[in-house]
């Protein structure tokens, strides 16, 4: 795979988060898809904790579906461990989403190699070592990028990575087939799937959660899924199932329990309501030969947004792993 074109000097500006800066990563070769304005601007956004050149080692955070970087407390903890912290809002997501664009859409997860490569170019100007920290779909994207570009990634931390669909296997197979059929003729047509917003209820301050993120950037209900995107994700899942053979150390953080439901109850603040954590724990072993899986009782899907006692255990596990492998 050819190297991405390096960016020149980029313009940092104050970010929406206090203590952070942001810069655009232009993607001029990326074209709008069906349903988007013909001249829409496509870019990714790189965010950094300031100051950002205290260490020769850096972390790059990659968010999940219908998400953006807002976990400032995670950045602070990683900085305390001796890393400079960066995050990327991928194309059509969060800070990078422009009017008329299809939120989160991509029809091949390898397309993200472009902006991840640009981010690595910027970070690499002042750093010798890069850890990718991926959450949910970002964990899948980061793992695939590390497999595509083993020269760019020194270690992976995966927070509830979405490495496969829920069991049973027959349902996952049927989903793949349906997505493939629909994507042939109408890859960007919305799929009318219900989203009752339980995850937002468990996390956001307005519903009794702890976190006050921007509901315009991380919406509830989530944007509609589209066949082309779902086909791309399932192709990524298939690659993981076949074995990525990552040579770098990998830390996987997961809840001890998941619950599938469409009705709210308080226990949802202490379980994963998005992925099948038992299946993901097994699937994670296909990432490479050096994978550490940590299960945390009481954790939510975004482990670092869990209750304080749980996330402190998560940070302790991250610190211990980083001392050994980071």
The string of pLDDT tens digits covering residues 190-224 is 988 777 788 888 999 998 899 999 999 999 999 99
- The whole-number pLDDT of residue 139 equals 98
103 belongs to a structural domain: yes
- The whole-number pLDDT of residue 4 equals 38
257 close to 297: Cβ distance less than 8 angstroms: yes
2 belongs to a structural domain: no
Which residues make beta-bridge pairs with 21?
14, 48
Q: Which three-class secondary structure state does DSSP give residue 211?
A: strand
220 belongs to a structural domain: no
Q: How far apart are CA 92 and CA 107, in angstroms?
A: 12
Q: Is the peptide bond between 168 and the residue preceding it cis, with omega within 30 degrees of 0?
A: yes
175 close to 268: Cβ distance less than 8 angstroms: no
312 belongs to a structural domain: yes
pLDDT band with cut points at 50, 70 and 90 for residue 5? very low
7 belongs to a structural domain: no
108 belongs to a structural domain: yes
CATH code assigned at 300: 3.40.50.1820
Which residues, 6+ apart, have CB-to-CB distance to 185 below 8 Å? none
Q: How far apart are CA 306 and CA 271, in angstroms?
A: 9
Instruction: Pick the range with the lowest mean pLDDT from 88-102, 173-187, 231-245, 269-283.
Output: 173-187
Task: Please give the share of the chain, as a percent, with pLDDT higher than 70.
Answer: 92
How many domains would you assign to the chain?
1
* Torsion on CA atoms 64, 257, 75, 73, rounded to nearest 10: 120
48 close to 79: Cβ distance less than 8 angstroms: no
Q: Model confidence over 25-55: pLDDT tens digits? A: 999 999 999 999 999 899 999 999 999 889 9
| Phi, psi dihedral angles at 167 (to 5 degrees) | -75, 160
92 belongs to a structural domain: yes
Q: Model confidence over 78-115: pLDDT tens digits? A: 999 999 999 999 999 999 999 999 999 999 999 999 99
Q: Model confidence over 245-260: pLDDT tens digits? A: 999 999 999 999 999 8
Domain that holds residue 29: 13-166+238-325
DSSP-assigned letters across all residues of 243-297: ---B-S-EEEEEES-B---SS--GGGGGSBSSS-HHHHHHHGGGSBSSEEEEEET
Report field, pTM of the whole predicted structure over 0.85? yes
295 belongs to a structural domain: yes
- To the nearest whole number, what is the mean pLDDT of the chain? 92
Largest CA distance in the chain: 50
């Amino acid at each position: 795979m050819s190297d991405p074109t390096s960016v020149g000097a980029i313009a940092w500006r104050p970010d929406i988060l206090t203590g952070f800066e942001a810069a655009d990563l232009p993607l001029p070769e990326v074209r709008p898809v069906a349903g988007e304005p013909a001249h829409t601007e496509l870019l990714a956004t790189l965010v950094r904790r300031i100051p950002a050149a205290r260490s020769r080692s850096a972390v790059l955070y990659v968010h999940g579906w219908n998400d953006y970087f807002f976990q400032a407390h995670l950045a602070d903890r990683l900085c305390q461990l001796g890393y400079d912290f960066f995050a990327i809002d991928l194309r059509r997501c969060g800070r990078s989403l422009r009017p008329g664009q299809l939120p989160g859409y991509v029809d091949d997860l390898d397309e993200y190699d472009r902006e991840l490569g640009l981010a690595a170019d910027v970070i690499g100007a002042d750093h010798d070592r890069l850890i990718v920290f991926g959450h949910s779909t970002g964990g899948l994207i980061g793992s695939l990028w590390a497999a595509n570009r083993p020269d760019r990634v020194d270690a992976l931390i995966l927070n509830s990575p979405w490495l496969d669909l829920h069991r049973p296997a027959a349902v996952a197979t049927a989903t793949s087939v349906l997505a493939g059929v629909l994507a042939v003729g109408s890859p960007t047509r919305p799929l009318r799937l219900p989203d009752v917003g339980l995850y937002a209820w468990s996390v956001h301050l307005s519903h009794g959660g702890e976190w006050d993120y921007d509901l315009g950037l991380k919406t509830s209900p989530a944007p509609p899924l589209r066949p082309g995107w779902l086909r791309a994700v399932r192709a990524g899942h298939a690659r993981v199932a076949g074995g990525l053979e990552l040579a770098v150390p990998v830390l996987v953080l997961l809840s001890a329990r998941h619950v599938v439901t469409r009705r709210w109850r308080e226990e949802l603040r202490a379980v994963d309501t998005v992925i099948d954590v038992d299946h993901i724990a097994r699937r994670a072993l296909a990432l490479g030969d050096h994978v550490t899986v940590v299960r945390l009782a009481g954790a939510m899907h975004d482990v670092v947004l869990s209750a304080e006692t749980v996330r402190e255990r998560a940070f302790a596990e991250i610190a211990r792993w980083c001392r050994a492998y980071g």
